[in-house]
Amino acid sequence: MRKLATLVALTAASPAFAASGPFFSLTNTNFIVTMAFILFIAVLFYFKVPSMLGGMLDKRSEGIQSELDEARALREEAQTLLASYERKHKEVQEQADRIVEHAKSEAANAAELAKQDLQESIARRLAAAEDQIASAQAGAVKEVRDQAIAVAISAANTVIAKQMTAAQGNKLIDEAIAEVDAKLH
């Protein structure tokens, strides 16, 4: 308080030297203004305005400090979350890469299986076609053989019919009946 009074006196003294007449007079405006200023400062100190302003500034400083601390905490939390998300992103990317590789290997296996199945199907169809060809060939051979037998029988019938007499025919019929009778009994 004493330093403030000295400071006020020094600042108030400089206008006093510039004024004409006695400084400590109620007619001197500089003296009245200085006294009003000192009275104003005293009233401010009486009502503890500087301590209230200091308290308000301290409160504001504490608020700013708490906001800064909260911002730091939020920043650290954000960095932690970012690191966590980056780690999760990396894990998900690795898992996606594994899935893609697995899908590629599965596709290659499926293609190989399909190729094997196709080869087996072709082999089965070839075997079936060969069986059909063999069956058709056997049928054709049988048909040719049957035709040859029919032609041979017809030719034999014609030859026998021309060479055989009625008595020889009756004799052959009697021999055939006897042979059948012997085989049946």
Q: Give the pLDDT band of residue 140 (cuts 50, 70, 90).
A: confident
Q: Per residue in 116-135, pLDDT tens?
A: 999 999 999 999 999 999 88
Judge whether 85 lies within some domain: no
Distance, in Å, from the CA atom of 127 to the CA atom of 32, rounded to the nearest integer, reads 131
Judge whether 43 lies within some domain: yes
Q: What average pLDDT does the chain have?
A: 86
Domain count, the chain: 2
Distance, in Å, from the CA atom of 34 to the CA atom of 13, rounded to the nearest integer, reads 9
Q: Give the pLDDT band of residue 112 (cuts 50, 70, 90).
A: very high
Q: Pick the closest to residue 12 from 21, 42, 50, 32 (CA basis).
A: 32
Domain that holds residue 176: 154-184
DSSP string, 31-88: HHHHHHHHHHHHHHHHTTHHHHHHHHHHHHHHHHHHHHHHHHHHHHHHHHHHHHHHHH
- pLDDT beyond 60 at 15: no
